[in-house]
Structure 1
Amino acid sequence: MVLRLLLLALLCGGVSAGSHSLRYFYTAVTPGSGVPEFITVRYVDEEQISYYDSVLRQTVPRQQWMAETQGPDYWEWETRISQGDEQWAQAKIQTLMNRTNQTSDPPEVSFTASEDGRHLSCVATGFYPQSIDMTILRDGRILEETHSHGILPNHDNTYQLTRTVRVEPTDTIKFSCRVEHRSLSEPLVLFLDPVSGTHSLRYFYTAVTPGSGVPEFITVRYVDELLISYYDSVLRRTVPRQQWMAETQGPDYWERETRISQGYEQWAQAEIQTLMNRTNQTRGIHFLQRMSGCELRDDGTSTGFLQYGWDGSDFITFDKDRMVWVTPVPWGVITKDKWDRDTAMNQGWKGYLEQTCIKWLTKYVKAGGSHLKPNPPEVSFTASEDGRHLSCVATGFYPQSIDMTILRDGRILEETHSHGILPNQDNTYQLTRTVRVEPTDTTMFSCRVEHRSLSEPLVLFLDPVSGTHSLRYFYTAVTPGSGVPEFITVRYVDELLISYYDSVLRRTVPRQQWMAETQGPDYWERETRFSQGYEQWAQAEIQTLMNRTNQTSGIHFLQRMSGCELRDDGTSTGFLQYGWDGSDFITFDKDRMVWVTPVPWGVITKDKWDRDTAMNQGWKGYLEQTCIEWLTKYVKAGGSHLKPNPPEVSFTASEDGRHLSCVATGFYPQSIDMTILRDGRILEETHSHGILPNQDNTYQLTRTVRVEPTDTTMFSCRVEHRSLFLVLFLASDKGESFSNSSAMA
């Protein structure tokens, strides 16, 4: 919101033994500036003699001789005058805003669907003044049954409004949101198109002569790259291959699709015999294939396709624009001539490809919702432990098409290695590209990834601070009598405690040997002074908060967590929040430069700190720059101590064969995933005491399952950890013990 300022200067002069002046300065500003909305100051010559503002609400002297020579009635009278001027000035600001057409801020509007496609939400925010009109329409008709919490205020004196409507995921009608506001020259209309982006519907029919060992007829159907249904001559029915297809299509749909596939199965088996005769093939395995479908593009245009293949080669294709069939093989001319004469069939195919197919595609895309939306890749770029290999890994992306290059000083490296794009279990894909380098090579390497889901190419750099790292400070102050030090400061880099201070020790000390070796006496003295200063502030703040929460006795805690995180992709974030007695008290929003509190008694602190713009600017600078600089220093100092350490894993059976235990130890960082499987299926009923610390800053985890000694099925233990390039599997037949060292020998 733009701030408007009204400044009045009144000047009068008089002469008594020289030239003198009396000047009044009145300043009024629209709300949301972070400064008082009205200020009056008065000068005699160049000396300020009085002051008034809309927060203080009284006129006060600024010269001692003014305080001594003017009595209480004078200051009360000046206060009333300034309060009257304040009211006039705020009204005048509004008048001038009207005259200069500076009275409104336009809304930012978005119109989106929920992931399950059952709710549409229109959101307008940042508008001023408050009055706004928002409607959601279905095919141009206003929907009355919308839900809203009404117009709500933002922190910057603007407003927001959200209106939501429930819809059926299968509804293919076009929805729109219409917003009217004083700041808009004409209504703003946003459309929600159920078929945004380019989508395709493809059918594949395959018929094969008997004796091949596979079903003699198969039908599969794809929307984009997702298999949505399946039929074969053994199963004899069409079944869904996506959960959302099972949920959105009823029994009549699946029965109809089954009848269609069964009918085409009979035709295809007869056609196989015809084509074998025409190609002089009386025996052997032969295939007849048909691919048909359509594509709806971003720009609203569409296309359709229908073609047949024989034994893996093109047989005949339908040209829907010219309404003729095209064949590249001489023995296909008989079929071409026959089908060219069947104008009714061809007209039916043209209508299907241009209309019916597009309608079904639209329905499927609407039903699939978020499952068909492009999903951005998660990308990492890391070096092997020996520094001889760099690997760029992209996973979780959809659709399949992606472009990945590794660059050295900005030049593409051609000699990379990859196993290609591989499918994940959740219908997304993964790609890994690796290059061999010299460990002593100090040039800059980067990985560039382009994908339909990304608005611009994603570029990751490999630098000395590889991986994601964090720096966190925890301050805890407690009322006397708890039996613990009244103030404690601890600091972590990633999961390692690197320093400690408390009110009994009265100094900051290192908790990692590499911190003691890399930081000199000046560093520890400075950190001690910081903690001692914050200790004094925190103890005073505890008393203040006890008063505000009407607590005169008992044990109470004030906590602060601050710090920053530097991610793999080079982006960073910062955080600063306070807690009181274990609950959230107040949090700094560094992007909007305001404090946020969930408790009513925190509003006093919020208002006070919101006005301290210098403090907030300092915190923002610290969280976005200074903290990151210190984190980078600590990570370089920590070196290999902060690198991921792979687990040593063993999978053993007890002597009586009734228990299998998977043990992982020596891993860092703490996060790890371990599952025990029986014939490839995860066993949920395992027992564990959780992740426990070792003495060397690594961790251990044991997971045990009870089994029957006579059970002859295959058991395995699956371990995933940040330090492992691949998922680690260990198998056990309950007669032997296995470890990752023996398994990889």
Structure 2
Amino acid sequence: MAVLIYSRLLWSVRTRKEKHSLRHIYTAFSKPVNFSGIHNFTAMGLLDDRMIYYYDSSMDKKIPKQKWMKERLKPDYWDKGTEFLRREQMRFSDIFNQMRQNSSDTHVLQWMHGCVGEEDKNGSVRFQDVEDGMDMYNFDGDEFLPNDTEKQEWAFAADAKLFPKMEAYQVKECMDWMDTFLGYLRSHLRNATLAAPPKVFVFKTPAKEKANIVLTCLATGFYPKDITMEIKRDGRVLTADDGLVSTGIRPNDDDTFQRREHVEILRTDSSNYTCRVIHKGFSIDVEETWGNIYIYIYFNSLSTFFFFCQFVI
């Protein structure tokens, strides 16, 4: 049996405004699957691709997956969430009961819904339009929208009530919750940043080819995740065509992020190589040549932070 897991990247970064997302993903199987860790029904919530809650049919309980979610939300929130997901589990069961497929087969139905929004000048996300919502089903790898159920008669009985489409008020509610969760997260990360200031390291390491060296630029401990990193040769930004390798933005264990890029060059290369790092969240724009050491101090409205940029050859 092939299980097709539905995944879509809904995070994007714009030049001046940071974009955020809140997604809820439910997954159900038409019959029990005998694989460890796979449940008949699973639900999870993702804030900017970070899991914030989890539920499965075996555990039968909605639980927080972030410390700050557990600290900020009262037990009543989790109790009501558990009851809601139990109802959703029953709705998915009703859908499978109406399927027009061979009952001996195992099918997978997933639903992803939520919202995306850009920060305003105050750092908040607000409802603008119903188009800010996301609402998509996936059946055995085939995607369809809630209002496209008639095209899926090969799989389901034509009962549109089982596939409700997000209304404007639901998108607004989603945006309000996303803004609340982001507030909780920012408060948590402000404390984390005080304990572990963000750092940038530029260094070189030996390459497999003895005639070459690897130049690496690493930025770590930053939040939000919107960051620009460039390695340049004589002022020209290097790309993958030049052999540049990037890890992209990855999470750290303390909810901050990191990014690393490197390029392999000849030891005899006399070009001027620099690394530029831009992080607008802290008004940082640094570009220095390998071999220098700098310490940058910056301020924000809440407290004083120290940003260390260390360049080592």
Task: Tell me if both proteins adopt one fold, taking TM over 0.5 as the criterion.
Answer: yes
Structure 2 counterpart of 1:601: 153
Structure 1 counterpart of 2:218: 663
Structure 1 counterpart of 2:244: 686
Equivalent of residue 514 in structure 1, options 68, 74, 78: 68
Structure 2 distance, partners of 1:730, 1:581, is: 51
| Local SS of the residue matching 1:627 | helix
Post-superposition offset of 1:508? 0.6
Structure 1 distance, partners of 2:199, 2:78, is: 37
1:535 aligns with 2:89: yes
Structure 2 distance, partners of 1:380, 1:692, is: 21
| Local SS of the residue matching 2:268 | coil
Equivalent of residue 581 in structure 1, options 110, 117, 140: 140
Structure 2 distance, partners of 1:637, 1:738, is: 33
Post-superposition offset of 1:705? 1.1
Structure 2 counterpart of 1:191: none
Equivalent of residue 648 in structure 1, options 199, 213, 231: 199
Q: How does 1:78-93 map to 2 (within 5 A)?
A: none
The Cα offsets for residues 328-360 of structure 1, whole Å up to 9 and x where unpaired, read as xxxxxxxxxxxxxxxxxxxxxxxxxxxxxxxxx
Q: How does 1:498-509 map to 2 (within 5 A)?
A: 498-509=52-63
| Local SS of the residue matching 1:741 | strand
Structure 2 distance, partners of 1:468, 1:696, is: 21
Structure 2 distance, partners of 1:642, 1:471, is: 18
**Greater C-alpha radius of gyration:** 1
Post-superposition offset of 1:679? 0.7
| Local SS of the residue matching 1:492 | strand
1:718 aligns with 2:272: no
The Cα offsets for residues 272-316 of structure 1, whole Å up to 9 and x where unpaired, read as xxxxxxxxxxxxxxxxxxxxxxxxxxxxxxxxxxxxxxxxxxxxx
Counterpart residue type for residue 109 of structure 2? L
Equivalent of residue 265 in structure 2, options 702, 707, 710: 707
Counterpart residue type for residue 494 of structure 1? D
Counterpart residue type for residue 251 of structure 2? P
1:488 aligns with 2:42: yes
Structure 2 distance, partners of 1:716, 1:542, is: 58
Counterpart residue type for residue 540 of structure 1? D
Q: How does 1:361-376 map to 2 (within 5 A)?
A: none
Structure 1 distance, partners of 2:179, 2:27, is: 25
Cα contact 2:293–2:310 (8 A) shared by 1: no
TM-score of the pair, normalised by structure 1: 0.32
Gaps of 5+ in 2: 1-13, 121-125, 296-306
Q: How does 1:408-487 map to 2 (within 5 A)?
A: 468-478=19-29, 479-483=31-35, 484-487=38-41
The Cα offsets for residues 576-630 of structure 1, whole Å up to 9 and x where unpaired, read as 211112330x324xxxxxx13595537966x632xx5xx65xx414423322332
Change (3 A) 1:519 1:706: same
1:620 aligns with 2:167: yes
Counterpart residue type for residue 702 of structure 1? R
Cα contact 1:471–1:631 (8 A) shared by 2: yes
Post-superposition offset of 1:482? 4.8
Counterpart residue type for residue 525 of structure 1? D
Structure 2 distance, partners of 1:654, 1:621, is: 54
The Cα offsets for residues 51-99 of structure 1, whole Å up to 9 and x where unpaired, read as xxxxxxxxxxxxxxxxxxxxxxxxxxxxxxxxxxxxxxxxxxxxxxxxx
Aligned length: 265
| Local SS of the residue matching 2:116 | strand
Flag the structure with more relative contact order, 1 or 2, with Cα contacts below 8 A and sequence separation at least 6: 2
Structure 1 distance, partners of 2:294, 2:97, is: 59
Structure 1 distance, partners of 2:223, 2:98, is: 42
Post-superposition offset of 1:708? 1.1
Post-superposition offset of 1:743? 6.3
Structure 2 distance, partners of 1:636, 1:537, is: 32
Structure 1 distance, partners of 2:19, 2:236, is: 32
Percent identity between the two aligned chains: 30
Pick which of 707-716 and 633-642 moved more.
Answer: 633-642
Change (3 A) 1:642 1:542: farther
TM-score of the pair, normalised by structure 2: 0.71
Counterpart residue type for residue 583 of structure 1? D
Post-superposition offset of 1:480? 1.6
Structure 1 counterpart of 2:118: 567
Post-superposition offset of 1:678? 0.8
Structure 1 counterpart of 2:289: 731
Post-superposition offset of 1:715? 0.5
| Local SS of the residue matching 2:171 | helix
Equivalent of residue 695 in structure 1, options 235, 253, 265: 253
Structure 1 distance, partners of 2:285, 2:48, is: 23
Structure 1 counterpart of 2:5: none
